[in-house]
Amino acid sequence: DIQMTQSPSSLSASIGDRVTITCRASQGIYHYLAWYQQKPGKVPKLLIYAASALHSGVPSRFSGSGSGTDFTLTISSLQPEDVASYYCQTYNRGLGTFGQGTKVEIK
Amino acid sequence: EVQLVQSGAVVKKPGESLKISCKGSGYSFPDYWIGWVRQMPGKGLEWMGIIYPSDADTTYSPSFQGQVTISADKSINVTYLQWSSLKASDTAMYYCARQYCHGANCNPAMFEYWGPGTQITVSS
């Protein structure tokens, strides 16, 4: 199985801060990496696919990068509505695995 | 508009069987993979498996293989997730979700549209 490890597990940042979440795969997954946002009590939403492609309607302050085993989700300027948990997910070879999630809060 | 409508919350006892459903509309149901995702209370998302309704081709996560059964009835646009013998540890929210597919950019295991979730509580 491919394991996905996110860090940190939680973070607290100020409005306007640049926030970075990392995701590491236990083996190479090329660019088959998606990021989801789940706000408290809500359904997950797709933010980024293919490691760096922004899903339709997602604000441009979100960006993704990486390939192989190391990936990053960046929020360029944290907004109050970004309070949520963020999950990476590999979808390589028709199988999916989520990371354990990163909870983002406002300081 | 793509919609996924899931069956309602359920309370069951350990050892009981259960089948929950997810009905798709607003798109050609047989032609898109549907997956199931578990979220235990206060925990993260877990990818369970996917099914292609057109031919019932199914892929399970190793963690869920043998623990649940995913099926579909394309004649009524419904996907199912079932248990033969529930355990307390099956208590969770279960989401169905449709694959991402735009033009040539399609992948069965990544999800764009999500259902609202079905809460399952297993307690004696």
Three-class DSSP category at B97:
strand
Strand B57-60 versus strand B45-52 pairing type:
antiparallel
Pairing outcome for strands B118-122 and B92-102 = antiparallel
What share of chain B has pLDDT > 90, as a percent?
Answer: 94
Instruction: Give the per-residue pLDDT at B16.
Output: 98
Q: Do B47 and A89 touch (CB under 8 A)?
A: yes
| CB pairs A-B closer than 8 Å | 66
Q: What is the pLDDT of residue B102?
A: 85
CA A38 – CA A42 distance, rounded (Å): 6
Read off the pLDDT of each residue in B3-26 and give the average, rounded to a whole number.
98
User: Is any Cβ of chain A less than 8 angstroms from the Cβ of B112?
Assistant: yes
- Out of A49, A85, A95, the one facing B100 most closely (by C-beta) is A49
pLDDT value at residue B103: 82
Question: What pLDDT does A92 receive?
Answer: 84
Instruction: Select from A95, A96, A100 the Cβ nearest to the Cβ of B44.
Output: A100
Chain B residue whose CA is closest to A103: B44
User: pLDDT means per 10 residues in chain A (107 residues)?
Assistant: 96 98 97 97 97 96 98 98 98 93 97
The candidate with the shortest Cα–Cα distance to A104, out of A18, A13, A42, is: A13
Q: Two tokens at A30?
A: 């090329």
State how far the Cα of B122 lies from the Cα of B86, in Å rounded to an integer: 7
The model's confidence at residue B105, banded by pLDDT at 50, 70 and 90, is: confident
Q: Does pLDDT of B9 surpass 90?
A: yes
Determine whether B49 is exposed, middle or buried from the number of CB atoms within 10 Å of its CB (0-12, 13-18, 19+). buried
- Average pLDDT (B98-124) is 94
pLDDT at B18: 98
For residue A77, the model assigns a pLDDT of 98
Strand A19-25, strand A33-38: pairing: unpaired
pLDDT of residue A1: 87
Residue pLDDT, tens place only, B58-82: 999 999 999 999 999 999 999 999 9
